[in-house]
Amino acid sequence: MSSKQLAQDDFERAYRRGFWRKLSSWLTGERNELLPFNAVRDRIPLRGQHYIGLKQVPIEQIVGSLGRYRDFDRAFLPRQARTRGRWVSIDSAHYEEIILPPVDLYKMGEVFFVRDGNHRVSVAREQGQQFVDAYVTEIKVSVPLTADVQIDDLDLKAEYAAFLEETNLGKVRSGAQIELTLSGEYERILEHISVHRWYLGEGRQAEVPYEEAVASWYDNVYSPLVKLIVEQQLLENFPERTEADLYLWIIEYEWFLRAAYRKEYSFQVVSRQFRQRFKDSPTRKLVNILKKSVWVDNLILEQERQEFEARTQISILRPESQVSLTTPGLYDKLIEHIDVHRWYLGEQKEQEILFSEAVLSWYDNFYLPLVELIRAHNILEEFPGRTESDLYVWILEHQSYLERTYEVDIPVEEAIDHFTEEKGEESSKKSGRSDSDKQNK
């Protein structure tokens, strides 16, 4: 078989493989394109360039092109039939052992872009070569680029470049790398630095230079926490994330703990609790939790529940009790109910009533009977995501509202009916349930 026929067969095989890789990328959503040089240049600031000579370059690190990025895929398999002629002639030269000139490459970080020689790179890779001779010009960039970088990563790389330019971190702490995997997070780190700078200034009663604040934040806040992250091997629980991601999330978590429990926590304690709470959470869910105020509500609720339990000892006095609330502030209302009930008991008996005795009497004679009515009326069906304890508080408040409005005593059963009719409709609308849904239940 002639060298040209062999080359024709090689092209057909490479072209078919390119087609199946393209189809696979459509089905899986994985990116398979070469990096366009201009897309990188437009997003990431360049720091000058210099010629570094003739080098042997690993072919796997050649993942971009100046002008032919649509003709080949990430593995330099041909994607366009029009490339056949040039590709076959180069592959024929390979079989005839004709020495071809080196290719011409740009280098950014660990990534190489083809200036001239796309077909030669494609043929060399198809023939199983590990390296290719190349004239290399290196372009300095401020952010690390590796051969696995995708087009979708470039905006994040641009954010990192802007962060490095604003902080001058590479100068104040040579070799420091703070790479995040989610867009928009560098702004939050800049806020951390600004807050740290403010605290330094307050301590000195003088303005602190920005670069000095960056260095101090890196040395005294960021690096110690990253050291703990490494020591505790937290990244094992969060694959595809970085130390910088976990730094930011743990700092946020520590802030929420302090806000909810009004006490200081060491980074060691916070990082351990963070691992336990979030090790099985998908990253997007985790970030949404940390960004939404409902997270703070959950922490405050946990604090209030613990305080209520410690104050009333309800789970000890009545082990079968299930007092659980979903809205911050309602546990305090339960304590008020118990205090009022204790006062009335004292008035009736004309003596001081122990708080524990008041808790038992309140639970047995007020809380539980109303909860049983709530169960009998199946009211929870109208309030998805809520508890019997929520309804206990809301119904009593509604009863009090009706009595103030109409200036008459309202039986609790009547308050329940009115509350269910009025508030249940509102809850159904919010949960997207129609009247026909209710009728079909």
Number of domains in the chain: 3
Do residues 128 and 12 both lie within one domain?
A: yes
Closest by Cα among 200, 199, 189, 261 to 226:
189
Residue 92 resides in a domain: yes
Token look-up 């092109």 returns: 65
Residue 226 resides in a domain: yes
Distance CA 230, CA 243 (A): 8
Residue 154 resides in a domain: no
At residue 137 the predicted structure's pLDDT band, cuts being 50, 70 and 90, is very high
Strand 111-116 relative to strand 131-141: parallel, antiparallel, unpaired? unpaired
Distance CA 286, CA 254 (A): 14
Supply angle C-alpha 313, 369, 310, rounded to 5. 10
Helix (H) or strand (E) holding 132: strand 131-141
Tell me the per-residue pLDDT of 161-193, one tens digit each, with 9 for 90 and over: 999 999 999 899 988 989 998 888 898 899 889
Q: What count of other Cβ atoms lies within 10 Å of the Cβ of residue 168?
A: 13
- Count CA within 13 A, CB hemisphere, residue 313: 8
144: left (phi over 0), alpha (psi -120 to 50) or beta: beta
Alpha-carbon dihedral angle through residues 265, 268, 273, 278, given to the nearest 10 degrees: 120
- Of 54-68, 111-125, 403-417, the least confident: 403-417
Do residues 277 and 318 both lie within one domain?
A: no
Do residues 187 and 270 both lie within one domain?
A: yes
At residue 255 the predicted structure's pLDDT band, cuts being 50, 70 and 90, is confident
Do residues 14 and 138 both lie within one domain?
A: yes
- Report the pLDDT value the prediction gives residue 112, as an integer from 0 to 100: 97
Instruction: Tell me the average pLDDT of the chain.
Output: 85
Strand partners, 78: 72
Contact 45, 165 (CB under 8 A): yes
Residue 152, judged by CB atoms within 10 A of its CB (0-12, 13-18, 19+), counts as exposed
Instruction: Give the mean pLDDT of 91-108.
Output: 94
At residue 256 the predicted structure's pLDDT band, cuts being 50, 70 and 90, is low
Residue 308 resides in a domain: no
What φ, ψ does residue 141 adopt, rounded to 5°? Answer: -130, 155
Which domain-ending residue is among 149, 181, 197?
149
**What range does the domain containing 422 cover?**
313-433
Contact residues for 433 (Cβ-Cβ < 8 A; gap 6+) = none
Do residues 175 and 144 both lie within one domain?
A: no
- Residue 22 CA from chain centroid, whole number: 30
Do residues 112 and 242 both lie within one domain?
A: no
Residue 299 resides in a domain: no
Distance CA 132, CA 230 (A): 38
Do residues 131 and 9 both lie within one domain?
A: yes
Strand partners, 352: none
Residue 300 resides in a domain: no
Residue 61 resides in a domain: yes
Contact 374, 391 (CB under 8 A): yes
CATH number of the CATH domain containing 125: 3.90.1530.10
Q: Where are the alpha helices (DSSP H) in 177-237?
A: 185-204, 210-217, 223-231
Tell me the per-residue pLDDT of 386-429, one tens digit each, with 9 for 90 and over: 899 999 999 999 898 888 888 889 898 888 888 888 765 555 44
Do residues 188 and 60 both lie within one domain?
A: no
- Report the pLDDT value the prediction gives residue 431, as an integer from 0 to 100: 43
Tell me the per-residue pLDDT of 261-320, one tens digit each, with 9 for 90 and over: 556 767 777 777 777 766 666 555 555 555 544 444 565 677 688 889 999 999 999 999
- Report the pLDDT value the prediction gives residue 213, as an integer from 0 to 100: 94
Do residues 219 and 343 both lie within one domain?
A: no
Distance CA 206, CA 375 (A): 64
Distance CA 415, CA 113 (A): 75
Do residues 133 and 186 both lie within one domain?
A: no
pLDDT of 73 higher than 80:
yes
Do residues 282 and 338 both lie within one domain?
A: no
- Report the pLDDT value the prediction gives residue 236, as an integer from 0 to 100: 86
Do residues 81 and 194 both lie within one domain?
A: no
Residue 161 resides in a domain: no
At residue 257 the predicted structure's pLDDT band, cuts being 50, 70 and 90, is low
DSSP secondary structure of 285-335: HHHHHHHSHHHHHHHHHHHHHHHHHHHH-HHHHSTT-----SSTTHHHHHH
